[in-house]
Amino acid sequence: MGSFSGFIRKSPSQRLMRFFEARSVIVPESFDWTSSGRGGALVLSIEELLDSLPDRKQDNLKAELDHLASLANKSCLVSAEQVCAGHGIELEGFEGLQDILLMLAVDHPEIIDRIAAQSSLMRKTGGKQWSAFQFEDDGKPWTLDDERAREVFLADAIKILDLPDHRKREADWYKSIRINSITGEETEIIQATIYVEERPESELAFGASETLERQTVQKVLEVGIACDAKERIVEICAKGGKRIRDDYANAFAKNFAPQSATPIETPRRDVMLNILRSAPDFDVEPADGIDRIEVSSLNFFSTGGGFMHMERRGEDETIYQFLERRFGNTSPLKAAGWQITGATLRIILAATEGKRRRTLTVTLRTPNTTTLPNKTEQDRQFAFSLLERWGLLAPRTQEGDGLGES
């Protein structure tokens, strides 16, 4: 968490001046802004300015600045870029994240909470309170912009949380833009943060009589939803365990994808495709019942901006032998400046008693997409165990909490 003093020191003076003006703070003409936020003098001057304000206003401003300081970190910078891109807010030319946050606090205050929610979702991705669900690519459109569907989905969320109907609730829907770290490709994400009144808690606080009183504090529970309509993936970050997130996924399908089959939970972990730069020696055990494995396609991205898709199937020649024969040292597997961004594996399972030989097809794409067209739980678990054994998946994250309470 960033400190108040560090935030002030790194903030441009002109932006701080505008922030205080927008909050109707009267600053003396003699106030010295010349330190440009780089030294301790400005921090002390602003602390003295805040101390001179009426108590309630002083508390509110300090709390707001503390909150902005808590967002001044690298993950929130990425979140700010994604959320602002989704809103068409240009961030070029700003003097760092502090400058951006102060501008948003004045000109787009609703964006601040979205950045906080987005940053929280990014931190929890892959953790125990997060799940991703893969819909089948059936070509049937989602109705994410349907206001009625959004209302019913929010009502379903209240039922899932098992809260009384009178609890206040609100869903904040917005767009963000994710950028592939390797290719720079942009993906539009539709996101929703659901805010619901949680069960109240009793706490001690100073009341109007300036004596300690026990007061009821209404907590707010947050649930995060991120939808990638292109890849047909829905991410859910929520407390309550796997069953709760399954219920959210089913509610999403019912309201926004009623024509599609029930989505399947798919672990989203970083894929490690450099292993496929040379013909891999897949570790196979007799108990796996695998006849053979082939890499049937590879996708490449060049640092110069080019894309290449190579596909080769057949028992007579592997894709590696084909690239060597056709391109030699200029093959994207050997030439400088090419990165593997996707691959398709075909796992041919040997025939067993009562069952014919069949094929499991697994597609991997950077940074963390894994699709399994065969939707049975047994096949999914089998395929993921193989990918882990072969080093194609990064280790599982141990990140804990969900989006949480506020």
**DSSP per residue, 14-32:** HHHHHHHHHTT----TT--
CA distance 51 to 45: 10
Q: Is the pLDDT of residue 75 over 80?
A: yes
Instruction: Return the pLDDT at 372.
Output: 66
Question: pLDDT band at residue 187, thresholds of 50, 70 and 90?
Answer: very high
Residue 381 tokens, joined: 């678990």
pLDDT per position as a tens digit, 189-241: 999 999 988 877 778 877 777 788 887 777 788 899 999 998 899 999 998 88
Q: Which of 111-115, 270-274, 349-353 has the lowest mean pLDDT?
A: 349-353
Dig out the tokens for 7 from the structure.
């935030």
pLDDT given for residue 406 in this prediction: 44
Q: Is the pLDDT of residue 405 over 50?
A: no
- Position 136 scores a pLDDT of 85
Nearest to 343 by CA among 296, 293, 379, 275: 296
Q: Does residue 318 surpass a pLDDT of 50?
A: yes
Helix (H, G, I), strand (E, B) or coil at 363: strand
Which residues contact residue 126 at a Cβ distance below 8 angstroms, ignoring those fewer than 6 apart? 267, 268, 269, 396, 397, 399
Residue 190 in contact with residue 175, Cβ under 8 Å?
yes
- Reduced to 3 states (helix: H, G, I; strand: E, B; else coil), residue 137 is coil
Lowest mean pLDDT among 8-12, 120-124, 232-236, 266-270: 266-270
Query: Percentage of the chain with pLDDT > 90?
Result: 53
* pLDDT score of 290 more than 50: yes
Predicted pLDDT of residue 39: 52
3-state DSSP percent of the chain in helix, strand and coil, to 5:
35, 25, 40
Within 13 Å and on the Cβ side, how many CA atoms surround 305?
Answer: 0
DSSP-assigned letter for residue 262: P
Maximal CA-CA distance, the chain: 90
- Phi-psi region for residue 354, left (φ > 0), alpha (ψ -120 to 50) or beta? left
pLDDT band at 401 (very low <50, low <70, confident <90, very high): very low
The mean of the pLDDT values for the chain is 87
Phi, psi values for residue 297, rounded to 5°:
-155, 155
Q: What is the C-alpha to C-alpha distance for residues 119 and 269, in angstroms, rounded to an integer? A: 18
Confidence of residue 375 (pLDDT cuts 50, 70, 90): low
- Tokens 């829905």 appear where? 234
- Helix 97-107 to helix 74-86 angle, to the nearest 10 degrees? 40
Nearest to 111 by CA among 36, 175, 163: 175
pLDDT, mean of residues 283-307: 91
Element (H, E) at 265: strand 264-265
pLDDT at 400 over 60: no
Sheet bearing 338-349, strands edge to edge: 307-311, 290-302, 338-349, 358-365, 369-371
pTM: 0.74
Cα–Cα distance for residue pair 265/390, rounded to 1 Å = 22
